[in-house]
Structure 1
Amino acid sequence: MHLVSDSTGETLMTVARAATVQYENVQEIEHVYPLVRSHKQLDRVISEIEKAPGIVLYTLVDEEIAHRLEQKCRELGTPFVNILDPVFAVFQSYLNVTQTHRIGGQHAMDAEYFSRMEALNYTMMHDDGQIWDDLESADIVLLGISRTSKTPTCIYLANRGIKAANVPLVPGIPLPDNVKSLKNPMVVGLIASAERIQQIRRNRVLSLNSEGYNDQYVDRKEISQEINMTRRLCSEHQWPLIDVSRRSVEETAAEIMTLFKDYKTARENGVAEQQ
């Protein structure tokens, strides 16, 4: 596949991967061409397509450059799709307004951009319980034992402008009182199956070539006890609990964002107050 964009190419990569996962036993080869904004840059892209013909997905605002790419694809007999054209057509029909043809508009350094940067900075500073004393300023606090995807989920949320902190749950170490008494942020517990956590922990130990690790870290019975500890804690404080065993980070984050939307609505209505 050839992914041709006048911006970062992230939209194309997301669409391409969402499509390819629907076809088992198909191994895709991606050629990504970001920031294609001139005919000279397009020449290089066309040369690569000629060498290895394949499906062409593109997002090009410049109509002349887009038209030239389409013509070349027709000559080569290569399928091509402007993935945003159907979306723009619906918007234009519904709004009765033409598009602005603004390149990379979704990446503009506006207030939303700086909000995301602030959230990312906050999340990195509050990863794995690094800072405990200002968690009230978080939007979301994730709790979980080791290897429950706390950090990647927080980073994903931060990229959506949500200030997310995460706190590890460690056997034998009580959860700090200031975490138990949080009022502003939504607290969410993450768990996974004992089998899944054991597998990830074993791989982690092997990748680090750790010789002096604690055997209990990968013991199935000990892991089950850690999971039960998380369940009891969340039940006691009425915190929502999400099982991430069969969820991607994106799916986990989507579930959390849905909960967070309801949480904010309830707070605005004066209903929610975590004990």
Structure 2
Amino acid sequence: MMQLHLHLLSDSTGETLENIAKAALAQYDDVETMRHFWPMVRSETHLERILQEISQNPGLVLFTLVDRDIRRTLESRCRAMGLPAVAPLDAVNHALSNLLGQEAKARPGRQHTLDAAYFQRVDAIQFTIAHDDGVGEEEWEEADIVLVGVSRSSKTPTSIYLANRGYKTANVPIVVESPPTDTLFSLKNPLIVGLTTSADRLVQIRRNRLLSLNQHPETDYVDHDAVAREVSFARRMFGDREWPVIDVTRRSIEETAAAIITLVNERNLAKRDK
């Protein structure tokens, strides 16, 4: 397996660079990537420390830096070390500049300006954390989305991802011995989405979870027949209530969240058309 040192330098949070790097690396197999993440690079002194680390762990350098002096220093030093230094947003900015007839604003992290959307995300994250795993049912009506599913069906990580996209998300576990309260079935505002997965996959995930906690992995929690009954019970509940269902067996968190956002948009569009 090939090893790659990947250095990500940003004058802001670096979120954009991380997403670009993740998308690009997904196209290659058998690559072990050691990521070196350097956010908030806004001074020559800071850059100098980073360059020392890069020289000790040479590899690909990706950067989003608007300060011309810092950028020039980075590019010059990388050339001297024989390392590629790539600014992945340059081509996009150049095309936009030509089309719009104006220069880009050289402001670090301008996409993260504290606007209404930023505060919406903060509120969504706070709400979602406070309403994880069935907590705070008296406020579920305030949610944009409520995810329901059996234990380890990716409810929490999907909720957090949706919250980062600005959606207030609660999640509720489905337990055969202790079904949800009537509050869940009387909700009007949130879109309720059922998450399901195959029993085989669920047993594997739960068994790994127990082993990571140093707990005995031979209980009803991982018994295949018991898990299959759980999944069937949840599916019947989703069907009886006509809630949309997403099978997460072969989906990443991002794919599941994207499907849910599509459902939200379709629902909002249908409401506007009425």
Quickly name the TM-score band, shorter chain normalised: over 0.9
Cα distance in 2, alignment partners of residues 130 and 214 from structure 1: 28
**Superimposed CA distance per residue, residues 116-174 of structure 1 (whole angstroms, 9 cap, x where no aligned partner):** 11111111111111111221111000000000010111111111110000111001323
C-alpha deviation, 1:251, in angstroms: 1.3
Among 51, 62, 66, the alignment partner of 1:61 is 66
Counterpart mapping for 1:31-180 below 5 A: 31-180=36-185
- Residue type of the partner of 2:103? T
- Give me the TM-score of the superposition, normalised by structure 2: 0.92
CA RMSD of aligned residues (A): 1.7
> Where has structure 1 moved over 6 Å in runs of 4 or more?
none
C-alpha deviation, 1:220, in angstroms: 0.8
> In terms of mean alpha carbon deviation, does 45-54 or 126-135 score higher?
45-54
- Residue type of the partner of 1:51? Q
In the alignment, is residue 28 of structure 1 matched against residue 28 of structure 2? no
Residue equivalent to 1:266: 270
C-alpha deviation, 1:214, in angstroms: 8.1
- Residue type of the partner of 1:221? D
Structure 2 residue runs without a partner (length 5+): 1-5
C-alpha deviation, 1:264, in angstroms: 1.2
Cα distance in 1, alignment partners of residues 185 and 271 from structure 2: 18
**Superimposed CA distance per residue, residues 197-244 of structure 1 (whole angstroms, 9 cap, x where no aligned partner):** 101111222222335x88221111111111112221112221110111
Structure 1 residue runs without a partner (length 5+): 271-275
Among 243, 250, 257, the alignment partner of 1:246 is 250
- Give me the TM-score of the superposition, normalised by structure 1: 0.92
Residue equivalent to 1:273: none
- Residue type of the partner of 1:246? R
Residue equivalent to 1:220: 224
In the alignment, is residue 18 of structure 1 matched against residue 23 of structure 2? yes
Cα distance in 1, alignment partners of residues 136 and 182 from structure 2: 14
C-alpha deviation, 1:22, in angstroms: 2.0
- Residue type of the partner of 2:258? A
Cα distance in 1, alignment partners of residues 210 and 7 from structure 2: 38
Aligned length in residues: 269
Cα distance in 1, alignment partners of residues 33 and 209 from structure 2: 28
SS at match of 2:152: coil
Identity of aligned residues (%): 49
